[in-house]
């Protein structure tokens, strides 16, 4: 059962995104004093007095949009109003009532949706008193708040919950089970409990203007995201729920990521930071690459962020329809990519076109398969048989006249799959041998599209452990 929808609308720069962040309890939407910062519809979940609801942030409504992007922003806001169960009409107490506020009020009356007038930026009693002029807009109830400081937002939430449709029996959703990887980093090698994979989160990432929003719109079958040839059109990460073979999946559209030195201050900087956070929260990253321009240094920069976060990855050569091809084009592409990025030998690659829909369904299936690979667990007995066979076939080389010994291995975590290999001395294991063991594991069990971690630990012998725990004798000084 879907949650009731609360849309936040108003003219530009009245604090809609600040109120959105306050209601969902985290900084999801980018907040700037520049009008027009928000463009796409941004969704979040709020909760108050046991009721959960979807909150939608929108771009500012205007009388005469001056560009194609501004027209699409207005369309996004209209769609949010149409799909909502309740509208929060936000105005600015500091600036006072404006002609555009009357225009927005007329639009909302024609829409016929239940509406709460929110007089924002009422940071003190004087501002709250001056906000009485907004009663002229003709909306009840009206509440004065300060979204930035949280003043009277509890009163607003009480009104929101009272105005929502009656709760459905299955409205509450179960909480997802999670685990904390910090335990592993701190050396706790106890096996983690089995974790059931929930709906995978798939972040659509890449450098600017590679077709990320076009892909989202193609999957959803509507202009959910604003698409333009201008780089930087998308700013906020936007979640969209889809069904793939009857199973749910969350797609997250993100802003284009550029190198740190190329990112402008302000909105673009916050957009890139949000994109990085989206990668960290995702299970899989679909990296969109412009097939016309090829695999560039900026693409490698984006891939580096995904690998650093240890997320699953699907490489998509987008705009494949725009290339002149023959029977060897795809093979030549693969050879070039494997040569330029050998660290992605285990990654899956899809040649697609978001514009025409070519292989779009395959991208979704590959993303789900990679997410499932991240949750695969190998029984300890099978893993040790594999490691034993690998060592027999190719023993590790001597280092400084010392023989490295591989004792046993176990899988201690999933998402990403993490293995601890106990040895006599981790410093004796050369990085090439680490890569050899990883390749043997992949050859046997796949793990296509997901990084795996191999952690080498020294096993302390029982005699050494007893000696380390035995109380020391303290010599007493003798006096004559």
Q: If you average pLDDT over residues 369-377, what whole number do you get? A: 91
Distance CA 101, CA 413 (A): 54
Q: If you average pLDDT over residues 91-112, what whole number do you get? A: 89
Which residue do the tokens 């109830």 mark? 141
In the chain, which segments carry CATH 3.40.50.300? Answer: 5-163, 190-374
Rounded to two decimals, the pTM is: 0.59
In the chain, which segments carry CATH 3.30.300.20? Answer: 380-466
* Per-residue confidence (pLDDT) for residue 325, from 0 to 100: 77
Q: Is the pLDDT of residue 89 over 90?
A: yes
337 three-state secondary structure: helix
Question: What are the pLDDT digits (tens) for 163-210?
Answer: 998 876 555 443 333 333 333 333 333 333 334 557 888 988 888 888
Average pLDDT, the chain: 78
Torsions phi, psi of 372, nearest 5?
-65, -35
* Per-residue confidence (pLDDT) for residue 171, from 0 to 100: 54
Say which range, 89-93, 233-237, 239-243, 358-362, has the weakest mean pLDDT. 233-237
Looking at domain 190-374, its CATH class is alpha beta
Question: Read out DSSP for 72-87?
Answer: HHHHHHHHHHHH-SEE
Looking at domain 380-466, its CATH class is alpha beta
Distance CA 172, CA 305 (A): 35
* Per-residue confidence (pLDDT) for residue 58, from 0 to 100: 82
Torsions phi, psi of 60, nearest 5?
-70, 135
Burial degree of 457 (CB within 10 A; 0-12, 13-18, 19+): middle
Q: If you average pLDDT over residues 252-271, what whole number do you get? A: 57
Question: What are the pLDDT digits (tens) for 425-470?
Answer: 888 888 899 999 999 999 999 898 999 999 999 876 544 444 544 5
* Per-residue confidence (pLDDT) for residue 223, from 0 to 100: 58
pLDDT band at 217 (very low <50, low <70, confident <90, very high): confident
Question: Could you confirm whether domain 5-163 is CATH 3.40.50.300?
Answer: yes
Question: What are the pLDDT digits (tens) for 269-286?
Answer: 555 666 777 788 889 999
* Per-residue confidence (pLDDT) for residue 174, from 0 to 100: 38
Q: What share of the chain is helix, strand, coil (3-state, %, to 5)?
A: 35, 20, 40
Question: What are the pLDDT digits (tens) for 326-340?
Answer: 778 888 888 888 888
Please, are residues 163 and 116 in contact by the beta-carbon 8 Å criterion? yes
Percent of the chain with pLDDT over 90: 27
Q: Is the pLDDT of residue 231 over 60?
A: no
């Amino acid at each position: 059962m879907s949650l009731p929808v609360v849309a936040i609308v108003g003219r530009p720069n009245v604090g809609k995104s600040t109120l959105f962040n306050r209601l969902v309890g985290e900084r999801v939407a980018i907040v700037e004093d520049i009008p027009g910062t928000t463009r796409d519809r941004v969704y979040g979940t709020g909760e108050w007095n046991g009721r959960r609801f979807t909150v939608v942030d929108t771009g500012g409504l205007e009388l005469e949009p001056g560009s194609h992007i501004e027209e699409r922003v207005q369309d996004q806001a209209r769609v949010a109003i149409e799909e909502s169960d309740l509208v929060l009409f936000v105005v600015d107490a500091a600036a006072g009532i404006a002609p555009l506020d009357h225009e927005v009020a007329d639009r909302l009356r024609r829409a016929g949706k239940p509406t709460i007038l929110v007089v924002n930026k009422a940071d003190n009693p004087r501002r709250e008193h001056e906000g009485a002029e907004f009663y002229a807009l003709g909306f009840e109830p009206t509440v004065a708040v300060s979204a930035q400081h949280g003043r009277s937002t509890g009163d607003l939430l009480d009104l929101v919950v009272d105005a929502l449709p009656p709760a459905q029996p299955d409205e509450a959703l179960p909480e997802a089970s999670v685990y904390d990887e910090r335990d592993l980093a701190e050396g706790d090698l106890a096996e983690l409990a089995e974790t059931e994979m929930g709906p995978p989160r798939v972040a659509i990432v890449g450098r600017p203007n590679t077709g990320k929003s076009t892909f989202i719109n193609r999957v959803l079958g509507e202009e959910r995201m604003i698409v333009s040839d201008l780089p930087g059109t998308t700013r906020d990460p936007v979640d969209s729920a889809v069904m793939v073979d009857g199973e749910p999946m969350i797609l997250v559209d993100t802003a284009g990521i550029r190198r740190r030195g190329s990112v402008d201050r302000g909105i673009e900087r916050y957009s890139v930071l949000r994109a990085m956070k989206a990668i960290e929260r995702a299970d899989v990253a679909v990296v969109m690459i412009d097939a016309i321009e090829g695999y560039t240094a900026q693409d490698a920069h984006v891939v580096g962020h995904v690998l650093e976060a240890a997320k699953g990855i699907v490489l998509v050569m987008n705009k494949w329809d725009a290339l002149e091809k023959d029977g060897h084009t795809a093979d030549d592409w693969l050879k070039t990519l494997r040569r330029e990025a050998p660290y992605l030998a285990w990654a899956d690659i899809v040649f697609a076109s978001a514009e025409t829909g070519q292989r779009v369904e395959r991208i979704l299936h590959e993303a789900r398969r990679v997410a499932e690979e991240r949750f695969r667990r190998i029984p300890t007995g099978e893993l040790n048989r594999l490691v034993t066979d690998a060592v027999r076939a190719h023993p590790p080389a001597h280092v400084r006249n010392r023989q490295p010994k591989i004792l046993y291995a176990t899988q201690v975590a999933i998402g990403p799959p993490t293995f601890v290999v106990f040895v006599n001395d981790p410093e004796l294991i050369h990085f090439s041998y680490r890569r050899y063991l990883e390749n043997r594991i992949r050859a046997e069990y796949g793990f296509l599209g997901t990084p795996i971690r191999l952690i080498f630990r020294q096993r302390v012998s029982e005699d050494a452990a007893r000696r380390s725990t035995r109380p020391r004798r303290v010599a007493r000084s003798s006096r004559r």
